[in-house]
């Protein structure tokens, strides 16, 4: 049984991740998201780790690295999946260093232009999925279009 880490921020990115849950049937799952009321609700049904919101702060990103490393070392996921946002960046970097496979699903709201997070994690992604065919050209040869989530 594969163990999958589901990494996403606590708003719309979490909503998109929850839309994907059916695709992970039969796998052992855990979430990593930001501390929030939604994360507390999610804990009723799933194993959930929370970290402080990174936002756009390079310092908060650096401060988050030890906690993220501890989660990855404790759980040892086979695959890391993210729908964004910036929470994906340190996870993808550390997952790449530990040779954990990574999958990024670009947000549904990005129709023609790449997200900032998508641009950063693209080189660290083993699989990079876009939900709009138009985004294939914007990203490059690694990007794949398999349809939308919604």
d(CA 22, CA 12): 18
Query: Dihedral of CA 39/15/135/30: which sign?
Result: positive
Task: Give 12-32 pLDDT, tens digit per residue.
Answer: 999 999 999 999 999 999 999
pTM: 0.95
Contact 41, 50 (CB under 8 A): no
Nearest to 126 by CA among 108, 145, 109, 105: 105
In sequence order, what are the beta bridge partners of 112?
Answer: none
Nearest to 106 by CA among 116, 96, 97: 116
Domains of the chain, earliest start first = 3-104+115-145 (3.40.50.2000)
Residues of the chain with confidence (pLDDT) below 50: none
């Amino acid at each position: 049984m594969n163990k999958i880490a589901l990494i996403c921020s606590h708003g719309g990115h979490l909503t998109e991740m929850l839309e994907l849950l059916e695709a992970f049937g039969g796998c052992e799952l855990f979430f990593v998201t930001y501390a929030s009321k939604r994360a507390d609700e999610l804990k009723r049904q799933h194993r959930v780790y929370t970290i402080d919101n990174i936002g756009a702060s390079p310092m908060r990103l650096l401060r988050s690295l030890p906690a993220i490393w501890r989660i990855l070392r404790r759980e040892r996921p086979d695959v890391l999946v993210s729908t964004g946002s910036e929470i994906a960046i340190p996870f993808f970097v550390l997952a790449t260093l530990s040779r954990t496979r990574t999958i990024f699903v670009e947000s549904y709201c990005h129709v023609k232009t790449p997200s900032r997070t998508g641009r950063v994690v693209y080189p660290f992604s083993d699989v990079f999925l876009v939900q709009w065919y138009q985004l294939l050209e914007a990203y490059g040869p690694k990007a794949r279009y398999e349809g939308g989530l919604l």
